[in-house]
């Protein structure tokens, strides 16, 4: 049952072998975990509470034995955010295609478009791990274990997003395409520039600034909120860093954009993360 006045939100996300990942990179449970987390993270971006998840799977013969493990991974990711699995549809095919659709309710939905000039910009967690793991895998190397864990078992920040919405966040996005690209969604929707101090962006050990700014599939959150946001209370609640990385400022003459304010200079930095095959 839905709380009166709440909105129902829905999002769908497909994970396909050789488009979104390669078979050797993950075990089947991780493939399932990531597919579910990618969809659930869309609900986090709306500060929604998950109501249910449905899976549609196209499964070629070579993946059939792995299906129970894939299902376990999806189930674990859903259970981690208290989301019931409410349905599914299984079919054959030549490619492994997992389509996860999630339904949620948003009592106080937060869009990308609510940032105000004067707001501060925050990010959860530490960035760069998934990008470092991907780079290692693409050059045939073994990723660092911590980087690999961030890549293979990312967390959808659902409770964290609802906390942020309840504590003043005015614009929110999940970090799936890369910090600069996803911050750009807030800038465009809000009609403001986002000025990011690259050295303030928290990084995992060993990550460069560029890896932290451009790496995708983090599933951390970026939010714009008044600078009074109680970051320490957030960290005390979730055991997760919430770091101020910049500010919302008036839009540039050429239109809203993300500006990397590096040591006093301003560097426009477009672009973000591309899937490895594109």
Positions in the binding site for its own copies (CB under 8 A): 1-2, 4-8, 10-14, 16, 19-20, 51-52, 54-56, 58, 86-89, 91-95, 97, 99, 101, 103, 105, 277
Q: Which is nearer to its own copies, 156 or 259 (CB)?
A: 156
Output the smallest distance, CB 56 to its own copies, in A: 4
Q: Which is nearer to its own copies, 125 or 272 (CB)?
A: 272
Output the smallest distance, CB 55 to its own copies, in A: 7
| Spatial separation of the C-alpha atoms in residues 77 and 202, rounded to whole Å | 25
Q: Which is nearer to its own copies, 68 or 92 (CB)?
A: 92
| Spatial separation of the C-alpha atoms in residues 229 and 97, rounded to whole Å | 40
| Spatial separation of the C-alpha atoms in residues 243 and 251, rounded to whole Å | 23
Output the smallest distance, CB 126 to its own copies, in A: 28
Output the smallest distance, CB 189 to its own copies, in A: 16
Nearest to 67 by CA among 82, 57, 76, 54: 57
Residue 259 phi, psi (nearest 5): -115, 125
Output the smallest distance, CB 234 to its own copies, in A: 29
269 Cβ contact partners less than 8 Å away, ≥ 6 residues apart: 180, 213, 258, 259, 260
Q: Which is nearer to its own copies, 19 or 251 (CB)?
A: 19
Q: Which is nearer to its own copies, 99 or 235 (CB)?
A: 99
| Spatial separation of the C-alpha atoms in residues 63 and 266, rounded to whole Å | 49
CB atoms under 10 Å from CB of 125, counted, come to 22
């Amino acid at each position: 049952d839905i709380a009166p006045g709440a909105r129902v939100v829905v999002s769908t996300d497909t994970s396909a072998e050789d488009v979104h990942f390669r078979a050797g990179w993950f075990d089947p449970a991780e493939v399932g975990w990531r597919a579910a987390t990618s969809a659930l993270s869309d609900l986090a971006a709306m500060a929604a509470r998950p109501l249910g998840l449905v899976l549609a799977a196209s499964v070629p013969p070579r993946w059939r034995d792995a299906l129970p493990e894939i299902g376990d991974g999806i189930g674990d990711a859903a259970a981690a955010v208290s989301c019931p699995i409410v349905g599914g549809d299984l079919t054959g095919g030549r490619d492994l295609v997992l389509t996860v659709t999630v339904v949620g309710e948003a009592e106080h939905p937060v869009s990308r478009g609510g940032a105000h000039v004067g707001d501060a910009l925050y990010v959860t967690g530490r960035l760069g791990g998934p990008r470092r793991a991907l780079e290692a895998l693409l050059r045939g190397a073994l990723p660092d274990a911590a980087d690999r864990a961030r890549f293979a078992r990312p967390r959808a920040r659902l409770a964290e997003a609802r906390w942020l919405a309840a504590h003043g966040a005015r614009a929110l996005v999940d970090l799936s395409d890369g910090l600069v690209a996803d911050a750009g969604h807030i800038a465009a929707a809000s009609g403001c520039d986002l000025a990011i101090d690259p050295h303030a962006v928290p990084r995992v050990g060993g990550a460069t600034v560029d890896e932290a700014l451009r790496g995708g599939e983090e599933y951390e959150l970026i939010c714009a909120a008044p600078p009074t946001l109680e970051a320490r209370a957030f960290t005390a609640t979730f055991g997760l860093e919430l770091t101020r990385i910049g500010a919302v400022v008036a839009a540039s003459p050429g239109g809203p954009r993300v500006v990397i304010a590096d040591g006093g200079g301003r560097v426009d930095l477009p672009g973000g993360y591309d899937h490895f095959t594109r």
